Amino acid sequence: MADLLTVQHLSAGYGAATVLGDVSITVPEGQSLALLGRNGMGKTTLINAIVGVNRRRAGTIHLAGKDITKLRPEQRAHAGIGWVPQERNIFKSLTVEENMTAIARKGPWTTARVYQMFPRLAERRTNMGNQLSGGEQQMLAVGRALVLNPTLMLLDEPTEGLAPIIVQELLAALAQIVREEGLSTIIVEQHAQKVLQIAHQAVILERGAVVWSGPAATLSADAATLEHYLGVTGARAA
């Protein structure tokens, strides 16, 4: 299986501060990577470096064999990167439908398919973005990324701050995207055990460096590693 994303010896940060040092990861075509670690360990910095919105100091990033290291963020989006940031970045003055149709590109993911996945959005298609709950805004952020029809989707803390019932709904949708649709993804998530049931591979960052990398199922069963790096007790706890 060919690698879709290859990040090699990446160093990145903000201003004069270096957060990541010599990070290398790969994401094979059709697979997903759970990007884990305690708060402040570099997960969002790595996502932002792949998107191109922070300062790269060293290393390379290849997508589908193409060197995108020096491309601007909008060029990386055109190359196939879809991004769901922590801030969601929906257009709050546009309706749900307008949020998606304004940026949609041709491909298998259409507005109609997003509505099938998130019936709540279909019910609120004429609502403005600022009239949605936090969970609905997150669903819309995921939908907006999907209708771009990316080859790689990056999700940064997609369930943060959401009610448990919305978390379950969103994780079920992500499981469909990853396991049934085969869309390559990187998911940053605090619910480690839950995302490990979705992902194929996992990486743990500690102080801006990769300290564990391997199959998600292996990490899910490794209680000692989960507790040591993530503070998680119980290898398959809900």
Domain boundaries, the chain: 1-80+187-238
Tell me the three state secondary structure of residue 160: coil
- DSSP 8-state symbol, 81: E
Tell me what pLDDT residue 232 has.
Answer: 81
Tokens 């004069």 -> residue: 16
| Digit-coded pLDDT (tens) for 161-214 | 999 999 999 999 999 999 899 999 999 998 899 999 999 999 999 999 999 999
The amino acid at residue 71 is L
Contact between 205 and 24 under an 8 Å Cβ cutoff? The reply is no
Arch. (CATH architecture) of 1-80+187-238: 3-Layer(aba) Sandwich (3.40)
**Predicted confidence (pLDDT) at residue 237 exceeds the cutoff of 50:** no
| Digit-coded pLDDT (tens) for 111-153 | 999 999 999 999 999 999 999 999 999 999 999 999 999 999 9
Tokens 């997609």 -> residue: 158
Percent share of the chain, pLDDT over 90: 91
